[in-house]
Amino acid sequence: MTASTKNPYYAKDPNLRFLEEVSAATAGVSRLEMCIQCGTCGGSCPSAADMDHTPRMLFALIRAGMREQALSSNTPWICVSCYHCVVRCPQDVHIADVMYTLKGMAIREKLYKDATAPDFSLTFVDMVENYGRSYEFGLATRHYLKHFPMRLPGMAPMGLGMLSKRRMDIAPTRIKGIDQLKKILDRAKELEAVQ
């Protein structure tokens, strides 16, 4: 039994356990609890300018139990997974992995503000689950038609260049063990759901 389950205030407001929840849902040992709010992460971030909150601010929201604000922040979606903050963090917080956790939670609770990034991830994964391989042509056409139709004319030379230089296949490749992979993923999803 952790300290927080004994504390009567946590029972009244489950969001006060949000930090624990995020940490537990993260791969490895997140060390999110160890954040000292120094701001090294935001200062190291190449895409912080486009974020609603720097990682430091986001972690403060999480610690304060401000669940909705944290999960609707665009920050995890703007994170480019460059791991600059991760290697510079004096507390060794697994920042990039925490961002992945927050994305997953935002998708499940439909709290993201812009569907472009979640749709891209979901479409990518849909292809992988069906073929066992990524399928760039299918992904690009489906994604661009939905989210960037205006970009398509400008992108045409590039897309055709990729096709004519055989850097993109029109047909997907399917692995032989796709049934085995599907069984594995179905079981993994069941296990994830009961956690």
Partner 1 sequence: MNKYLFYPGCSMETSAKAYYESLMAIKDTLGLKLEEINDWNCCGATEYVGISLTPAYALISRNLALAVQQANGADTVVAPCSACYLNLAKADHYMAERPSLGERVNQALAAGGLHYDPGTLQIRHLLDVIINDIGLDHVKSKVVKPLKGLRVAPYLGCMVPRPDYQKRWSDHEHPNELDRLLRALGAEVIDFPLKTHCCGGHMTQISPSTAFELIRRLISSADQYKADIMVTVCPMCQMNLDAYQAETNRHFRTNYHMPIVFFTQLMGVAFGMEPRQLGFGRELTDARAAMARIGVEVPEPESAKKPAKKAKKTGLPMPQMPGSEQEAAE
Does 156 interact with partner 1 (rule: CB under 8 A)?
yes
Which DSSP category does 125 fall into? H
Does 37 interact with partner 1 (rule: CB under 8 A)?
no
Q: In the range 38-57, which residues lie near partner 1 by CB under 8 A?
A: 46-47, 50
- One-letter-per-residue 3-state SS of 124-190: HHHHHHHHCCCCHHHHHHHHHHHHCHHHHHHHHHHHHHHHHCCCCCCCCCCCCCHHHHHHHHHHHHH
- Tokens 């042509």 correspond to 137
> Exactly one of 11, 36, 38, 82 binds partner 1 (CB under 8 A); which one?
82
> Exactly one of 117, 141, 142, 146 binds partner 1 (CB under 8 A); which one?
117
Which DSSP category does 149 fall into? G
> Exactly one of 21, 33, 52, 169 binds partner 1 (CB under 8 A); which one?
169
The rounded Cα 71 to chain-centroid distance in angstroms is 11
Smallest CA-to-CA distance from 70 within 22, 28, 120 is with: 22
Does 128 interact with partner 1 (rule: CB under 8 A)?
yes
Does 168 interact with partner 1 (rule: CB under 8 A)?
yes
Q: How far is the CB of 159 from partner 1 (least distance, A)?
A: 9
Query: What is the rounded distance in angstroms from the CA atom of residue 121 to the CA atom of residue 106?
Result: 13
Stretch that binds partner 1, among 7-15, 52-60, 61-69, 124-132 (CB under 8 A): 124-132
Q: Which is nearer to partner 1, 13 or 50 (CB)?
A: 50
Does 189 interact with partner 1 (rule: CB under 8 A)?
yes
